[in-house]
Structure 1
Amino acid sequence: MSDTVARKVIGAHLLDGRMEPGEEISIRIDQTLTQDATGTLVMQELEALHLDRIKTELSAQYVDHNLLQADEKNAEDHEFLRTAALRYGLWFSKPGNGVSHPTHMQRFGVPGKTMIGSDSHTPAAGSLGMLAIGVGGLEVAMAIAGQPLHLRMPQIWGVELTGRLPDWSSAKDVILEMLRRHGVKGGLNRIIEYHGEG
């Protein structure tokens, strides 16, 4: 099997295990992202780990979910995230700077890097040639502290695109067709790479 983009990125970051689908592997993580709805628990975990500074190349804390100030709780949470990011060396994106995943892709996306995030849209950075995986807050905290990510080697699906889309169609229609064929859980523990002339 020739190496796909995902296999190349995983291979360059592999610390332990065999790159066979379903096998347990450990990989080094270059970047992390969190957002305000999940970041508070990540920062509390960093406190519990007695971390001095981040061990990743880059970690970012975004405030993009709870922007409305209905009471003092959001403001207090945002201030906690800001000061924790400063303390540990995370890049902090204040409310109004943009949504985490596209902002991160625009500012920090680098082909060939690994990234995990505590936001369900983290895998969007895969469009840049990154290995980007959505995980829980504990996994993000451990990666920030320099620990590898442990996971099962995903299956890699190659989807060859040929021809042209009909008028008034877009790439989203291709994705919707994949969802129709495979369901919303069809991509679990899989990486889907699109290639071809289409």
Structure 2
Amino acid sequence: MGETLAYKIMREHLVEGRLLPGERIGIRVDQTLTQDATGTLVYLELEAMGLDRIRTELSVSYVDHNTLQTGYESADDHLYLMTVARKLGAFFSPPGNGICHQIHLERFAIPGKTLLGSDSHTPTAGALGMLAIGAGGMDVALAMAGEPFQLTVPRICQVEIKGGLSPWVSAKDVILELLRRLTVKGGVGKIFEYGGDGIRSLTVPQRATIANMGAELGATTSIFPSDEGALRFLRQQGREGDWRPLEADSDARYDERISLRLDDLEPLIALPHSPDNVRPVREVEGKRIHQVVIGSCTNSSYHDLALVAEVLKKERVHPDVSLVIVPGSRQVLGMLAQNGHLASLISAGARVLEPACGPC
């Protein structure tokens, strides 16, 4: 019997226990990420352990939440995180660089590796075939100290994607459809593994949107195969050498299966006050709005924001509406500027914030 992609990566990293459904195991962690809202405590815990050097292959300390120094507290946090990262051998990403998940995808995510992050949307890196899991600060500190991450072997749910996206339907609609079907509790104790011919039409940023919002399903993580699409993305980032082909075996056994045709989707929207309160956009057409925010770690890629800029060309934001744009990284902001999209957004009357978690 063949193996799922998630099982292949867990088996490669298995340190303790048996890789069987419901069993308690420990896996080796290759990379970690923290952000400033959780990272300060993580590094204080590491210092309390007496650690003189991190023991992962790579750890990154991002500052992307409290980026505005409105008081001495944030400034002190930033200074501490910068100096302790230097001391322990971690990378430090200062305020303004962007959102941890977007930057990690661009710079550090590697197919087949494991990532543990002190942020719930860490599974974003699953878009590149990485087993990426969000966890508590102590778990991340222990991983940085070289200890295995303890978890119960999740159920593996295959999501078979077929067809292609219709005009004005986006990757966000894929995950909203799953939320509509399964609710915010439908992914608890599960890994969502995406496959099928339809994923070939999805770029890595589109896959990242889907993997990112697997957190809203309550999933342990979400993962896509490392295919030609992943190779193209890594080549564009100058990291072609990090690529390796990875996919589930053709006879892999799954605990659950879901089939989803991209052609059948229509534009969807999640209404207050839960991500699974999903309705077709046509049902709320004409409803008055006062504020629009486009960004966050879910929808802040170059493709997302360039599309908005094209829509707004030669248009103006309505005087009764506040439009906020939040690029996901300095790279995204730079590309928008180089290609004229930033000028289009500003001319249309959008507010452009620095690359950070911002309103989220």
Give the counterpart letter for 2:127 in structure 1.
S
Tell me the TM-score normalised to structure 1 length.
0.97
Report the secondary structure of 1:161's partner residue. strand
2:37 corresponding residue in structure 1: 37
CA distance in 2, matches of 1:34, 1:147: 17
1:9 aligns with 2:5: no
**After the TM superposition, which of the residue ranges 156-165 and 46-55 deviates more from structure 2?**
156-165
2:183 corresponding residue in structure 1: 183
- 1:2 shift after superposition: 2.1
Give the counterpart letter for 1:188 in structure 2.
V
- 1:187 shift after superposition: 1.5
Give the counterpart letter for 1:69 in structure 2.
Q
Give the counterpart letter for 1:195 in structure 2.
G
Query: Can you give the 5+ residue segments of structure 1 that lack an aligned partner in the other structure?
Result: none
Query: Can you give the 5+ residue segments of structure 2 that lack an aligned partner in the other structure?
Result: 199-360
Task: Give the paired residue count.
Answer: 198
2:54 corresponding residue in structure 1: 54
Report the secondary structure of 1:138's partner residue. helix
Aligned residue runs from structure 1 range 99-114, under 5 A: 99-114=99-114
- 1:64 shift after superposition: 0.3
CA distance in 1, matches of 2:193, 2:151: 19
CA distance in 2, matches of 1:19, 1:155: 11
- After superposing on structure 2, the runs of 4+ consecutive aligned residues of structure 1 that deviate more than 3 Å are none
Tell me the TM-score normalised to structure 2 length.
0.54
After superposition, the CA RMSD in angstroms is 1.0
1:75 corresponding residue in structure 2: 75
Structure with the bigger RCO (C-alpha within 8 Å, sep 6+) is 1
- 1:69 shift after superposition: 1.2
CA offsets, 1:160-179, max 9 Å, x none?
11223333212221111111
Give the counterpart letter for 2:48 in structure 1.
A
Report the secondary structure of 2:158's partner residue. strand
CA distance in 1, matches of 2:84, 2:183: 39
CA offsets, 1:95-133, max 9 Å, x none?
111100110111111000000000111001011100000
CA distance in 1, matches of 2:116, 2:185: 19
Aligned residue runs from structure 1 range 92-103, under 5 A: 92-103=92-103
CA distance in 1, matches of 2:38, 2:48: 16
Give the counterpart letter for 1:13 in structure 2.
H
Q: Percent identity?
A: 60
